[in-house]
Structure formats: C-alpha cells, structure tokens
Amino acid sequence: MCGIVAYIGHREAYPVILKGLKRLEYRGYDSAGIALLNSGLKVYKKKGKVAKLEESLQGKDLHASIGIGHTRWATHGEPSDRNAHPHLSSSGRFAMIHNGIIENYAQLKQDLISKGYVFHSDTDTEVLLNFIEDIQKNNNCILEEAVRIALKRVIGAYVIVLIDQENPDTLIAARKGSPLVIGVGKNEHFLASDASPIIEYTKEVVYVNDYEVAIIKPDELILKNLGNERQTPFITKLDMELAAIEKGGYDHFMLKEIFEQPQTIYDCLRGRLDANAGTITMSGIDKFAEQLVNARRIVMVACGTSWHAGLVAEYIFEELCRTNVEVEYASEFRYRNPVVCEGDVIIAISQSGETADTLVAIETAKTNGAIIMGIVNVVGSSIARASHTGAYTHAGPEIGVASTKAFTAQLAVLTMIALKLGYKKGTLDQQRYLQLLKELESIPEKVAALLQNTEHIKRLAEKYKDSQDFLFLGRGYNFPVALEGALKLKEISYIHAEGYPAAEMKHGPIALVDETLPVVFIATKDSYHEKVISNMQEIKARKGKVIAVINEGDDLSASLADDVIVVPEADEIVAPMLSTVPLQLLAYYVGVAKGLDVDKPRNLAKSVTVE
C-alpha cells in the first residue's frame, strides 16, 4: 500500500499523475515513484515525499500520454529508493505498481530464483511482477491472460496496474481487497485508489470489484473476471466537489475537518431526523427493521477510531434497545473463529469502507447467515457494497490521517439507528425518544459554539507539549471518549498516552501519577459525575496535573482541576459528540507546537487495506 494513480489518454500523463500523487499524500507513505511510456519505459522513484521525487525530475524529458504512479507505505522491505514503486520486470518490458500484500510471495520467489530470476528489491511486488512475466513468456500469451493466470495462484490482497512496453495504448489493472476507482473521460481514463485525484477531470467513475481485471485503452474500458468472462462496468456519478479536498484557508486539513464538524454532523442528520415531527427516516434501516428489532445480538466490528465509535454505540444501543451488544476489533474477530448465528446483526464501521480486516470479518459473518450493516463514509466503497444494508455518514472527504469529523458523524448515525430501533421495539418510551431527538438535533449548533473560542486549548497545548506521558480518564459514555482522546494525542504528537475507565485507575495506572503527569478527565455532567470527581481528588492527592473537560457552572470540578475546558451541556447519550472535539483540538495544537506534520503523522496510513 498506499496510493496509486494512473493515466491513459490525450493529455500529458506526468502532470496528471504527479498532482494525483499529491492528492493521495494524506493516505500516508514513505516513498514515491512514476513510470512513463514513450519511446521506452522510464521509471523514476525516490524515498521520501512526492516533492522530493518532483525535484529529482527537473529537466528530464517526461513527455508521455500513458503512465503509472505510486506512493508506498512499507510492508515488505524498508523505505528506500530500490523498494519504491513502480517496479520493472526482469526483462524491462513491464512496469507495475501494487497496493496490498502477497502472502505466498516467498514460495513464488524461490521458484523464480530457481529459474534464474534476479531480484533488485525486497518487495513482494517485484515477485508478483516477475511471476506474471514468467507466465507470459512460458505461455506466449497476452498480458491480461498472464495476469489472470497469476492471480489465481496468488494469496493475499492487491490492486495492481501494469504498463506493457510492447502495447503502449493499454493499461492492465486488477483488484482484490484493496480499492480501485477508474475515472471515465472523453478518450481518456484515470485510475486511482480513491476519487480525490480524479474529481478534477471527471465525475463519472467505475468502482472495480474484487477478482476483476480491467483492460483500459484511451477510448475503451473492458472488465473481466478471472474466468475471462466480460463484466458490465457500472458508471457512478461522484457527488464530491474539488473544494472538499482542498484546505480552504486552514493551515492543515485536520484543523479544517475539526471545524467542519458542525456542518458534517448537520449533513448527517439532514433529511433523516425531524425532531418536530418525531421521526427518523433511514431507508436502509427501514428495509431490515424487523430483523434488526428482533436480533438477539449485535456485534460491532471496526478498527482504530471507528472501534471507539462502536464502544460509545454499545452503551447507547444497550440503554435504548436493550439488546446484547459486543464490540470487536475486526483484526481479532476474523481470526478468533467467533460464534455467529443466523439472524445476528454485524455492524461494520469504517470511514474509508475499505479496511481490510473489517471486510474479511463481515464476509466471514455473512457465510454464517448474519445480517451485515455498513456504517461508512465513502459511497461505493467495498464495505458498502458487501453489506446487506447500512447508512452513509455524509462527512465528506477526510484528508487528515487522524480521523475527526468521521468519528462524530459515525456517532450521529449510530445514535439515530439506536433511537429508531429502541422506539420501534418499545424499549424507549415516547417522551424520552422525543427528548433525545431534540438533544441530537441541537448538537451541530453546540459544536459550533464550542469552536468559537479555541485559544485556551492552544495555550494548554503550549503548556503541556513537552510532557512525556498523558492519561485520559472517563466513565460510562465518556470512557470511549478517553480512549479516542489518547489515540489522537499519540497519532498527532507522538506523546505516549493511555485511555482508561476512571475507576480502573486504581488497578494499576495510578502508579504512574506524579507531579509531571497530565491527567485528562472527561467530567461532563452525567450519572457518573460524582464518581469522576472522586477520581479527580485521588489524582490531586498524588500531585498529578488535572485537565478537566467540564460543563459550564461545574464549580466543584473546576476547583479540583489545574486547567479546564468547558463544553456545552447535553444529555449523556449525545455528549460524546461534544466532549471529543476539544480533545481533537488539544492533539492538533500539541502536534503543531512540536513542529510536526499533523496531517501526515509518521508510520500511519489513512486507509489500512492490508492485514
């Protein structure tokens, strides 16, 4: 992994591919490269940023109307020039870029070495490419046929795009478990890992399915399955605008996306929630309403920030729907041989809709008769297509690697689903239902109010930016918020941070407390508030530095804290959408104060499409 771009058509390929690679930088990467075909196949690649690659190409003849480009996040082999993509085949005839992991590459490599192949990188990608070339030479077949034969032998995940020096009017691409979008223009085609490099040129796209091979010419797109059967390309209209993937005057995408949350939460609720009418309209939920209401068990599968959204939703669903809810790391769920029964509901939560572990987890559950509900942000994504039903979060493109607006949008969608099912099931009475509709409807306005003054959070960041560790504590609905706050700080500032249920502090973490340790309490007014105050007193007794996220007028919490962040008051069921925002800002401002690249944290990728 991490990002691919390719072009074939009447334009100069290099500027299109270079701009596309810059659009994909948000996905995270450690090297970049481009292959261009014009009077020979030329490959240029560099460790480091796309800008370093661009600088190295100054003055070179880059004229071509066909090319491929890649930003790499290292899996097999350290970040280096030689491990960067694209790779050339042994003969130099083919060049290839690849997202994913080939699990049986070692055996394939040994077989190829025994035939005399020499490898110039440590990557599984070069192995796959030479395997394809070996098949092509031994069978004297066309490239697309060699690709189909090779992929039947390959174990793992991939998106590959190949250039053939002997066929300069054709690109060959294929996918399994990693996203590929093809933009359809007039006598031109654009390929990318997501739509962000394409939107500038066309809004008509085709999402390639697993086990499909694409044969792409300037004026033709052919899709085939691995059995060589033609498939009908389904053209989708993008609703994304170019402005959505630009900074719009903000210093960083992360800050822009934090400040977009009043609008993104509103967009998530718009057309669905009508507090005055007392209704929630969600067609995907209505279609499976009976199965959802009667489900004995709901299992939420997710990774990272989406897993934290699932943890908040666990509290909400059990409270409002009185249904047994489990929240699983997708990466563990798929390997644990879980007990999944017919009629169980699996809710897959993913910003990108392409998370590899989550995809495999839901496919496993589907075979056991579970109902799959996808909660994703990206229209047409793999999880959306693999689900029986679900709901889009409508948060718009999220470019910052650390998820912010996607998290609050996920909470909004999951809360609406719980409200709808609880009311239909009869476990939520009308008075409480109507009250919560109003509470949820008010969240965008409250987030906007919270964001009107962030200078005090910036000052806190300056005060604590040199801390070695942080502890985040919360109870009930705010325990997952503590986890999310700790994750954000780790991702953005590289400060070690841990999130815990506040009561668990006494079972170990309190040993870490001294006068140098900042402890962030999510201490908004809820049914656990008095207990949280007791925990704050325990930290103060041990000279810890208390930072408290509190509601206006909470003088007792304020008196115990060294620093406070005030958020608007809200019902505890919707309060996490408010209390998480200052923690996002704290992480952002600490990262900026430390001089770090907050949009592209080291070692991280936006969409984890390999296991």
Token pair of 193 as six digits:
């890992």
What does the alpha-carbon distance between residue 442 and residue 465 come to, in Å, rounded to a whole number? 33
**DSSP bridge pairs for 94:** 164
Dihedrals phi, psi of 27, to nearest 5 degrees: -75, -15
531 belongs to the catalytic site? no
- CB distance 330 to 495 below 8 Å: no
What does the alpha-carbon distance between residue 393 and residue 266 come to, in Å, rounded to a whole number? 10
- Catalytic residue, chosen from 2, 268, 303, 321, is 2
What DSSP element (H or E) covers 563? Answer: strand 563-567
What DSSP element (H or E) covers 349? Answer: strand 345-350
**DSSP bridge pairs for 37:** 41
What does the alpha-carbon distance between residue 374 and residue 386 come to, in Å, rounded to a whole number? 8
- CB distance 471 to 517 below 8 Å: yes
What does the alpha-carbon distance between residue 248 and residue 239 come to, in Å, rounded to a whole number? 18
- CB distance 8 to 65 below 8 Å: yes
What does the alpha-carbon distance between residue 47 and residue 483 come to, in Å, rounded to a whole number? 34
What does the alpha-carbon distance between residue 214 and residue 225 come to, in Å, rounded to a whole number? 9
Q: Residue by residue, what is the 3-state secondary structure of 274-323?
A: ECCCCEECCHHHHHCHHHHHHCCEEEEEECHHHHHHHHHHHHHHHHHHCC
User: Which letter, b or e, does each residue of 62-92 get, where b requires 16 or more Cβ atoms within 10 Å of its Cβ?
Assistant: bebbbbbbbbbbbbbbeebeebbbbbbbbee
Residues 6+ apart with CB under 8 A from 432: none
**DSSP bridge pairs for 535:** none
What does the alpha-carbon distance between residue 422 and residue 323 come to, in Å, rounded to a whole number? 9
Q: How far is CA 380 from the centre of its chain?
A: 14
Q: What is the DSSP string of 451-486?
A: TT--HHHHHHHHHHTT-SEEEEEE-TTHHHHHHHHH
- CB distance 461 to 593 below 8 Å: yes
What does the alpha-carbon distance between residue 498 and residue 521 come to, in Å, rounded to a whole number? 12
The DSSP letter of residue 544 is P
141 belongs to the catalytic site? no
What DSSP element (H or E) covers 494? Answer: none
- Catalytic residue, chosen from 49, 405, 525, 606, is 606
- CB distance 477 to 313 below 8 Å: no
What does the alpha-carbon distance between residue 32 and residue 37 come to, in Å, rounded to a whole number? 17
Pairing of strands 31-37, 66-72: antiparallel
Q: Is 378 helix (H, G, I), strand (E, B) or coil?
A: coil
Angle at 440 between CA 411 and CA 566, to 5 degrees: 85
- Measuring CA to CA, which residue among 36, 450, 398, 38 is closest to residue 240? 398
Number of residues written out for the chain: 611
- CB distance 425 to 321 below 8 Å: yes
Amino acid of residue 516: T
Residues known to be catalytic:
2, 606
